[in-house]
Structure 1
Amino acid sequence: MAIFTHTSTFTPSQETVKTWLTRPGALTRATPHWSGSVKKEGDPQNLGSQAHLASALPFTSGLLTLPWTAEHVAAGEDTFTDQQAKGPFSSWQHTHDFFETPGRTVMRDTVTYELLPGEKLGTSAQEAEGKAKQQGFKLLGTGRKGAEKIGDTLVNKHLTRVFDARERRIAADLEFQERYAHDPITVVIAGASGMVGQQVSALLTGGGHTVRTLVRRAPQAENEFRWDPAAGEIDTEAFDGAQAVIHLGGASINQRFTEQNKKAILESRIQSTTLLANTLADVARKDGGAGQVPHTFICASAVGFYGADRGTEVLTEDTPAGSGFLAEVCQQWEAATEPAREAGLRTVNIRTGLVQSALGGMLKVQLPLFLTGTGGYVGSGEQMQSWVSLDDIAGIYVHALFTDSLQGPVNAVAPTPVTAKKLAKTVGAALKRPAVLPIPPAAPALLLKKEGVQELALASQNASADKLVKSGYVFFEPALRQALEHELVR
């Protein structure tokens, strides 16, 4: 039996810190992306409730995971405890204790754990190694002896990294929540199950707000409402008493640019946005200014609006649209929000840059290459890449929600764009792997086809963040190296 402890300090009061940590979304926000992901949150105040996670294996930056179920087993005024119901340890219990001192709150995490017996841990590690080979890279120190060594020497080191990262993330979120303190509101989100949607939802519920989600299946929870964009159907009760709608849905663009896939990329965005905008316009007219329906509509878009080949030209929200498939998608996407704008809703189009995250997007697709030292940049590497961290794209949506002066298109990018070569080298540096060789366009064409490579891997878009910065947004991660180290730390 081993015991690990970690002490964190925060400036808000004990009540503020504990309240945040026991709200929905706290586990999602506190979990470092490289250490795994949250599939379902539990309720620390509801004994017997369970949280379901995918816990990352060391050395894989979140690519290889094991299922983990934690059950909440104890709660008090200044403490709560969960324990492993299913997972990679023989036993695991985690207690959070809170202490208030002058000017700060202290949180002490105590983890009592016992590793699996050697033969079981060795088998588990061998299975993980087999999975790793399928993904195209090799784990270090696997097999029975390697697993035992990891158990003896690396668990505490890994936990130290996890809890250090948790402390940083919790502190950043507490500061964010203080900056956007607001009376509780109700927000309807379409696309809440996606990578960005999960983080936006967690930021909102962490602030004490209510999130309703639009789902395409039969609703299974109180705040779920059904819709079917292809059929033009939506349960309008979702909007009763809500103040805003955020739309994040759309088929992934990280796929082969076949005619069938391109049609899905376009139609999934236009059909859903048109349905939402028209429905919001209708309910606004029926409400007649009574204020019982949403008055803000925030819809995703992308810097692809500007076209794939803009060189080093600085692209502001006033820059005309470019040409190409994704530019046309973004133009139609933004145009589909017009009915809501014409009906008087404050409408914001979030033109997202390249989201850098271990949880999804192109970075996750490329991670196996970088982890094996074969990652790099496509083409000359001189194309401009307008990037943004996952924390910031989520933060930007919340900022847009609570910043009444912000409307129309907004470039959701960090203020420090880089070349593709610089981006690749920084990913390599964060992983302590080389990333100096150019990758022939034919290689990513196997995944994206030639048009996809031109529209994504070879795109040059130097989008300006000035409008966002002038509106008062403060970045979680304004610098690329720090953002990637926080996202990919090993």
Structure 2
Amino acid sequence: MPQRVAITGASGMIGSALSAFLSARGDEVVHVVRRPARTSAEISWDPSNRQLEAAALSGVDAVVHLAGANVGEERWTPSRKQEIFASRVDGTHTLATALAEADHPIRLVSQSAVGIYGSDRGDEVLTEDSQSGHGFLAEVVRAWEAAAEPARAAGLSVVHPRTGIVLAPGAGAMGPLLRLAQLGLAGPLGSGRQFWPWITLHDTVRALAFLVDRPEVSGPVNVVGPAPARQKDIAAELARQLHRPSLLPAPGMGLRLYLGEFANDILGSQRVVPTRLLECGFEYEQDTLPKAISWLLAHA
């Protein structure tokens, strides 16, 4: 049955793709915007001041909450870190409180991230039952997920899709690596042995829609591909399909000088697996690294 789905962060990489996907399958998509609503397809909110009228959610069946400051867009100064933290916690708490006050049950798909597992877990296999890790992003994600407590306390169905490294053409973490690969300059970052929990944008969107449709699924769900790969193998596969070399490594020290603290997360290893997503019956369309890279290049 078609649903009315509200999306925060709808103008972002994942949000815009999800909006198109849901609309194409027949759902009514409503964008949650930070200005006065101009049409019936918009809901206005002010997350920084924790303002969202519960009445504005009338008729909404589910909310996909994707809003938050871009983690890799700027160097992590103290003020930028505060912005990253507040944009997630304030927005989630605002939304969860409004949902708890709404006059009907609404499904909440509140985005999270594999950053909760910490920046470097080596070869350890990480499932939804694994303990959270250390570092700034782990701290952010713990608070991010906890901020949805008003909705859970009201008895609503809340799921946290912990997304990994999204392979998307021209955007996200893969944008710079893809441009380097096209020039024949994409090689190992640091040792290159760190696991990257990749997933295509296409399967990310499909997984989010899958979770919208299954209110019986709650708690954390790792939204990553079924076969995490080492960073050097991702770079090598990109180069192979582009018919370019992938020999020049980027030393860890240089990355830290250029990226600052965020480099620890780029160089860290997270061997995350989608245990719950597979158990729930989700089927990937790009389930191997070669298929994923082929999809990425076809849409670049």
Please report the TM-score for the alignment, with normalisation by the length of structure 2: 0.95
User: 2:189 is matched by which residue type in structure 1?
Assistant: V
The aligned residue for residue 478 of structure 1 is 287
One-letter code aligned to 1:214: V
Structure 2: where are the runs of 5+ without partners? Answer: none
Higher relative contact order (CA 8 A, sep 6+): 2
1:239 to 51, 57, 61: 57
- Counting only pairs closer than 5 Å after superposition, residues 62-101 of structure 1 correspond to structure 2 as none
Aligned to 2:130: 319
Q: Partners in 1 of 2:221 and 2:37 — Cα distance?
A: 33
Matched with 1:205 is: 23
Cα drift, residue 308 of structure 1: 0.8
| Deviates further, 255-264 or 313-322 | 255-264
Unpaired runs of at least 5, structure 1: 1-182, 288-292
Matched, 1:296 2:107: yes
Q: Is the 8 A contact 1:300 1:351 kept in 2?
A: yes
What is the CA-CA distance between 1:487 and the residue it aligns to? 1.3
Equivalent residue, structure 1, for 2:153 = 342
Q: Secondary structure at the match of 1:349?
A: strand
Give the CA deviation at 1:418. 0.5
Give the superposed CA RMSD. 1.4
Deviation at 1:368, TM superposition (A): 2.6
**Alpha-carbon separation, structure 2, partners of 1:400 and 1:432:** 37
Does the CA contact (< 8 Å) of 1:245 and 1:294 recur in 2? no
Q: Which of the pair is proportionally richer in strand?
A: 1
Distance 1:223 1:426, change over 3 A: same
Deviation at 1:447, TM superposition (A): 4.2
Q: Is the 8 A contact 2:120 2:268 kept in 1?
A: yes
Match of 2:90 among 267, 271, 278: 271
Q: 1:199: Cα distance to partner?
A: 1.4
Structure number with larger C-alpha Rg: 1
In 1, the alpha carbon distance for the partners of 2:173 and 2:225 equals: 17
1:170 aligned partner: none
TM-score (norm 1): 0.59
Aligned match for 1:367, one of 178, 186, 189: 178
Taking every aligned residue pair, what percent have the same amino acid on both sides?
A: 40
* Residue aligning to 1:445: 256
Contact 2:7–2:32 (Cα < 8 Å) also in 1? yes
Contact kept, 8 Å, 2:54 with 2:101, in 1: the verdict is: no
Q: Confirm or deny: 8 A CA contact 1:239 1:294 kept in the other structure.
A: no
Secondary structure class of the residue paired with 2:137: helix
Residues 224-264 of structure 1 deviation map (CA, whole Å, 9 limit, x = unaligned) = 12111111222434310111111001111113111121111
| Cα distance in 1, alignment partners of residues 17 and 295 from structure 2 | 16
Give CA deviations for 1:359-388 in whole Å, capped at 9, x if unaligned: 311111223321211111211111111111
Number of equivalent positions = 298
Aligned to 1:226: 44
What is the Cα deviation at residue 404 of structure 1? 3.1
Aligned residue number for residue 280 of structure 1: 99
Q: Residue 460 of structure 1 is aligned with which of 261, 269, 272?
A: 269
Structure 1's consecutive aligned runs of 4 or more residues displaced over 4 angstroms after TM superposition are none
The residue type paired with residue 357 of structure 1 is A
Q: Is the 8 A contact 1:415 1:464 kept in 2?
A: yes
